[in-house]
Amino acid sequence: MTGRPPAQTWLEWVGPMWRRAIGITFLLALSAVFVVPIAWMTTTSFQSGEKMFQLATEWIPSEWHPENYPNALSRDAFPTYFLNSFVISGVVMIGNVVFGTLAGYGLAKFRFPGDRFVLLVILSTLMLPLEVTLIPTFLVIHQFGWLNSYQGIAGPLLIEAFGIFLMRQSILSIPSDYLEAARIDGAGELRILWQIIVPMCWPALAVLAILSFRDSWDQFLWPLTVVSVDEYRTYPLGMVRFEEDYGNPPTEQMAIAVLATIPVFLLFAVLQRWVNRGFGLSGLK
Amino acid sequence: MSSTFSTNRSPPTARSWFELNYRYRIPFWGIAYVLPTVLFFAVFKFGPMLWAIELSFTNYDMVSTPTFIGLENYRGLIADPIFRETLINTLVYIAGSTILITVVGLALALAINTGVPGARYCMTAMFLTNLMPIIAVCLVWRFLLHPYGLVNQLLSPLGFGRINWVTDSATAMPAIIMVTVWRFAPYFMVIFLAGLLAIPQDYYEAAKLDGANVFQRFWHVTLPQLSPTIFFVVVVSALLSARIFLMPYIITRGGPGNSTRVLSMLIYETGFSYLKMGRAAAISVVLFAIMMAFTVLQMRLFRGSEQERFR
């Protein structure tokens, strides 16, 4: 990377070799705290049911049970639930990326009457998450006739203030001279957005994409409120029903949990090149 | 700008028309970019909130037409021991998880920032918990916190007995806070890391020349330089914890007794299990007030950073 020395070395009272060894061990131990539960989920999803609550966890199953996966999927309408979640999260992700970029750009690079006020209005929506406005938003969706529909679940999630601020922050760092130069050369406003702003914002766009996908993939309370038919259930609702039914083996719950985790990890793997820069971590070794 | 256009052979009338147009065209585009978002927030954020405030003064139940009952809902809430307990639980949860998320997030960032080889990979590994779906997190931790689960297995060599994490009212809330920290601290670790990387290296060099040791440098350089980031993390994680629903809903079902019931659960139950929409709206207004307190802090912070930008 940039060859930047570490900002602050906690371990400098010991020699460099020992420092490294202690540092690596310490970091690995810390990482283990975060990784072990994920590993447990994965290994348990291949475990046989009766092995689950032994006195010692069997980290590598003595007998592999990959059939937990098809079994779990066939018990409830999980393929439908996952499909619903994909559709909704995809739409919400696109909505957040598109409107976050538009509004972020509008607020970063344009002066118009009331622009400060709009900024304040958008900031103040941080105190109005769906958990707070649950009852009236449900009534609004009810008025629209959108209960039990994709638009009913995805609609209120389509724009979040977080994305607007992320994009605004990123676009502020683009010199305005570029835009002026393009305007003088006769580029249309949409072309400026598409050919100058967007290519310079990939890192922020990647962060926004992954976080907005994850947030709508995680949504539970809102679908629980507006969905009452199996056809439009998302996978978290399916998982809770699955879990509440005591006949279902816990290993199969873990199989569904693994399946639910894979799409977010995959998206992260695809976008990771930009995500680190988007978070401002390019100086990290 | 005039020199650019002087080479342009268009007649002066067309030019002045262009410049006039230009003056208004640019703000017009700014408004056009922002308008969809403002309309969206009017319909899905501010409209519903005003409606919630209105409903909180009625006895609306989804069936009959709402009648105005004044402060009756609020009076009922104050008199209700379950509501009071839930409010206290929510505040305890917000305080506990905000403090721990900030401390753990900062500690993780400092550990990553030691520049040990492979630190990047450890960071990515930790960040994975933040991408794991919350529902999966809750189901996994419910098993890990089971009396015969992994947590007790690992603690037993240290001399702990069998702890009933989620069924004992003394440990249920700490257990949920612990899961929250496990899930969210790595996100804030990343925010802290970005803040740490932005501190100019010269400050550390200067402090070192002045003979400051590691802890003095942390106290006199890192902490003051990082204070905007710390403030941001505190506010954002408080807003995040105020909204919590799924973790207590899955891990403890709000129990044992009421010991882990939080406001969002109470809103859902009051509104959709008992159809007391007016009362649920009144609880929403209480939750809104909590969120507003933190958002006002956030705005003050935001205004500070904006002033810095324009200075």
What tens digit of pLDDT does each residue of B112-134 get? 888 788 888 899 999 999 999 99
Question: How many CB atoms within 10 Å of residue B258?
Answer: 18
Q: Which amino acid is at A62?
A: S
C-alpha distance from A261 to closest chain B C-alpha (Å): 5
Cα separation of the two ends of chain B: 26
User: Sign of the CA dihedral A160, A165, A171, A176?
Assistant: positive
pLDDT at B255: 77
Helices A68-75 and A78-109, axial angle in degrees (round to 10): 80
Task: Reply yes or no on whether the pLDDT at A17 is more than 80.
Answer: no
In this structure, what DSSP letter does residue A6 have? P
How large is the average pLDDT for residues A232-255? 86
Task: Reply yes or no on whether the pLDDT at B253 is more than 50.
Answer: yes
Q: Is B108 on the interface with A (CB under 8 A)?
A: yes
Q: Is A243 on the interface with B (CB under 8 A)?
A: yes
Question: How many CB atoms within 10 Å of residue B36?
Answer: 16
User: Alpha carbon of A166 to those of A90, A205, B239: distances in Å?
Assistant: 19, 9, 17
C-alpha distance from A265 to closest chain B C-alpha (Å): 7
Answer whether A232's CB lies under 8 Å from A257's CB: no
Cα(B65)–Cα(B67) distance, rounded to whole angstroms?
A: 6
pLDDT single digits (tens) B267-283:
999 999 999 899 999 99
Q: What percent of chain A has pLDDT over 70?
A: 90
pLDDT at B45: 93
Q: Is B138 on the interface with A (CB under 8 A)?
A: no
pLDDT at B126: 92
> Could A137 and B48 be called an inter-chain contact, meaning their C-beta atoms sit closer than 8 Å?
yes
Task: Reply yes or no on whether the pLDDT at B13 is more than 70.
Answer: no
A158, two tokens: 């389509």
pLDDT at A269: 93
Which of A237-251, B7-21, B36-50, B205-219 shows the highest mean pLDDT? B36-50
Chain B residues in contact with A124 by the CB 8 A cut-off are 295, 299
Cα(A137)–Cα(A1) distance, rounded to whole angstroms?
A: 48
Closest Cβ–Cβ partner in A34, A36, A106 for B30 = A106
B46-68 in b/e form (b: 16+ CB < 10 A) is: bebbebbeebbbbbbeeeeebee
pLDDT at B62: 80
pLDDT single digits (tens) A89-117:
999 999 999 999 999 999 998 988 888 89
How large is the average pLDDT for residues A237-259? 86
Q: Is A136 on the interface with B (CB under 8 A)?
A: yes
B65-104 residues touching A, CB cutoff 8 A: none
pLDDT single digits (tens) B279-294:
999 999 999 999 998 8
* Residue B306's pLDDT band (cuts 50, 70, 90): low
Q: What percent of chain B has pLDDT over 90?
A: 45
Task: Reply yes or no on whether the pLDDT at B208 is more than 70.
Answer: yes
How large is the average pLDDT for residues A116-141? 91
Q: What is the mean pLDDT of chain B?
A: 86
pLDDT at B267: 94
pLDDT at B4: 44
Task: Reply yes or no on whether the pLDDT at B1 is more than 50.
Answer: no
Higher-confidence residue: A183 or B179?
A: B179
Answer whether A159's CB lies under 8 Å from A216's CB: no
User: Sign of the CA dihedral A204, A209, A210, A215?
Assistant: positive
A220-239 residues touching B, CB cutoff 8 A: 220-221, 224-225, 235-236, 239
Task: Reply yes or no on whether the pLDDT at A4 is more than 70.
Answer: no
pLDDT single digits (tens) B168-203:
888 899 999 999 999 999 999 999 999 998 888 889
Question: How many CB atoms within 10 Å of residue B75?
Answer: 12
Closest Cβ–Cβ partner in B114, B250, B295 for A240 = B250
The number of angstroms, rounded, from the C-alpha of A229 to the middle of its chain's C-alpha atoms is 26
Task: Reply yes or no on whether the pLDDT at B309 is more than 60.
Answer: no
pTM: 0.88
Answer whether A239's CB lies under 8 Å from A224's CB: no
Cα(A73)–Cα(A52) distance, rounded to whole angstroms?
A: 20
> Could B38 and A118 be called an inter-chain contact, meaning their C-beta atoms sit closer than 8 Å?
yes
Closest Cβ–Cβ partner in A55, A110, A135 for B284 = A135
How large is the average pLDDT for residues A221-246? 90
C-alpha distance from B75 to closest chain A C-alpha (Å): 20
Cα(B88)–Cα(B33) distance, rounded to whole angstroms?
A: 42
Closest Cβ–Cβ partner in B194, B222, B280 for A280 = B194
